[in-house]
Amino acid sequence: MTNRQRRPWRPQLTRAEMGRGWVFFALYVLLFPWVMGWVQRSFDGELPIAEANVVYYLLSATLVFLVFWTFLRHGFHLLLDWLPENLFAFGTGLAGWAVLAFLAGFIPLPVENPNLVSYPEQFALAPKATVVILVLLMPLVEEPLFRGLLFGTSRKYSRALGYVLSVFLYAFYCVWQFVYAYGTVDFRYLLLFVEYLPMALALAWCYDNGGSIWSPIALHMVINTFTLVRAL
């Protein structure tokens, strides 16, 4: 009996999904946050932020399923077919994130992470909505984009390139809005990207070694749960 060969990694998105995905990626990163901010300002603070964010992420998650349906369905089959590999990738990714995040906490930064302040406030006002956004909807939206599309597309040219683009662009994406969050421009908030590098690296590792997009989705959910608990 021959030994089962390890699954070869290959891009899993169809050409049509890649085309639709890049359009959605640009809208999600560049346009959607601006539109959301404009909607909030238009209601002069009368629109509940948590509930509005739930609607925002529900619409984004719906678009993700419409854009990446074949990719997500295929990823579920890969998860079942290669369950030991995906469990190993999930476990090592979680352990690696915990160690690297702990070490990153010793890096002195000139500003405090606004999320650690806003999460308790959002949870106090709307606990269910906050949990749904952070633990469920955010991973469902971001993983197909940053790992499935960005990492998956660039990795076919170079594994190192896939990691560099996915890790650093995701880390900067997590902090760039802080620069303009308080009515002034403060580029020191970009330095907070180092706090998100462990998470971005763990998620890319999980997808690369597990092969199913549902593994980093699950890992993202667990990491966000730990982050929320820590903030509370």
Q: Distance between CA atoms of 83 and 104, rounded to whole angstroms?
A: 31
Mean pLDDT per segment of 10 residues, for the chain of length 232 residues? 49 88 94 73 61 86 95 94 95 97 94 86 87 94 96 91 96 90 83 96 96 97 94 82
Domain extents in the chain: 15-39+51-231
Q: How many CA atoms does the CB half-sphere of 218 hold within 13 Å? A: 18
The predicted structure's pLDDT at residue 60: 93
The predicted structure's pLDDT at residue 41: 61
Q: What is the C-alpha R_g of the chain? A: 18
Asked if residues 110 and 191 have their Cβ atoms less than 8 Å apart, the reply is: yes
Asked if residues 138 and 145 have their Cβ atoms less than 8 Å apart, the reply is: no
The predicted structure's pLDDT at residue 4: 44
CA torsion 169-203-113-100 (nearest 10°) is -110
Instruction: State the pTM of this model.
Output: 0.91
The predicted structure's pLDDT at residue 123: 86
